[in-house]
């Protein structure tokens, strides 16, 4: 019987993720259980694997009946966003694994917020730092959400979903730039990628009915420094 030893992320890959906010690669397995364990191990290398809202540490990302169509369990186009913008302490890292990429144009997208911010005028940047936005929690979550600036010293925090009030002109300018610079993540079964959720925004194109697209997702936070 053959055995399978999956390599952990290299020191160089971890450094690149911490410095540049994005890495990707491929595993020699497409097995969901094996990939799930590997994702948890890598997140614990980067910090701590973290579960939010009673979700399992490894979440299956595919359309699910009963989920909002504009959520990760839905099928509609998702504009660039950071995950859990409504939480006081969103995950620092997101790890993704491709079980099946789906078909057609069903890609995840990413946008480097540093690049988008570089293109914005100074007054817009100042408004993004100063103007508080209220990010409501999803309906099924017992939380009042979070109110704060899109830009602070620790992170970019943005999600335009469900926002009817307080969405500012500067937030819209930033969002349009994030859309303009979106890049597609074209993946094959076995591919993984990690993003820094405090820097990179991600989105998704609309999914086809009965899509076979199936990704895995894990969250992680950095350990707080002892003071």
Query: How many CB atoms are located within 10 Å of the residue 182 CB?
Result: 19
Q: How far is the CB of 74 from Fe ion (least distance, A)?
A: 11
- In the block, tokens 């017992």 appear at 142
Q: How far is the CB of 138 from Fe ion (least distance, A)?
A: 11
CB of 148 to Fe ion, least distance (A): 18
Least spacing, CB of residue 62 vs Fe ion, in Å: 14
Give the binding site for Fe ion (CB under 5 A). Answer: 83
> Is residue 165 exposed (0-12), middle (13-18) or buried (19+ Cβ within 10 Å)?
exposed
Computed over its alpha carbons, how large is the radius of gyration of the chain?
Answer: 17
| Nearest distance in Å: CB 108, Fe ion | 9
CB of 4 to Fe ion, least distance (A): 30
CA distance 186 to 169: 32
Q: In the chain, which residue ranges form alpha helices assigned H by DSSP?
A: 11-20, 32-46, 113-118, 122-130, 169-180
Q: Which residue is nearest to Fe ion (CB)?
A: 83
Please list the alpha-helical segments (H only) found in 21-168.
32-46, 113-118, 122-130
| Closest CB to Fe ion among residues 47, 74 | 74
Token pair listed for 181: 């610079």
How far apart are the C-alpha atoms of 59 and 175, rounded to whole Å? 26
CB 202, CB 215: distance < 8 Å: no
Quick one: 124 or 216, whose CB is closer to Fe ion?
A: 216
- Alpha carbons 72 and 63: distance in angstroms, whole number: 8
């Amino acid at each position: 019987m053959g055995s399978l030893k999956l390599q952990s992320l290299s020191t160089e890959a971890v450094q690149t993720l911490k410095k540049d906010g994005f890495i990707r690669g491929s595993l020699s397995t497409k097995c969901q259980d094996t990939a799930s364990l590997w994702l948890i191990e890598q997140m614990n290398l980067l910090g701590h694997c973290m579960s939010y809202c009673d979700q399992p540490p490894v979440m299956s990302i595919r359309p699910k009946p009963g989920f909002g169509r504009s959520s990760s369990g839905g099928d509609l186009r998702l504009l660039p966003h950071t995950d859990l913008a409504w939480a006081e302490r969103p995950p620092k890292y997101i790890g993704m694994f491709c079980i099946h990429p789906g078909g057609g144009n069903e890609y995840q997208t990413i946008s480097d917020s540093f690049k988008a911010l570089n293109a914005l005028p100074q007054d817009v940047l100042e408004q993004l730092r100063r103007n508080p936005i209220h990010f409501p929690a999803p309906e099924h979550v017992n939380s009042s959400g979070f109110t704060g600036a899109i830009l602070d010293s620790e992170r970019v925090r943005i999600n335009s979903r469900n926002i009817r009030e307080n969405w500012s002109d500067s937030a819209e300018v930033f969002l349009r730039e994030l859309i303009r610079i979106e890049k597609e993540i074209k993946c094959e079964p076995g591919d993984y990628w990690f993003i820094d959720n405090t820097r990179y925004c991600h989105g998704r194109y609309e999914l086809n009915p009965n899509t076979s697209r199936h990704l895995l997702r894990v969250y992680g936070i950095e350990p707080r420094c002892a003071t």
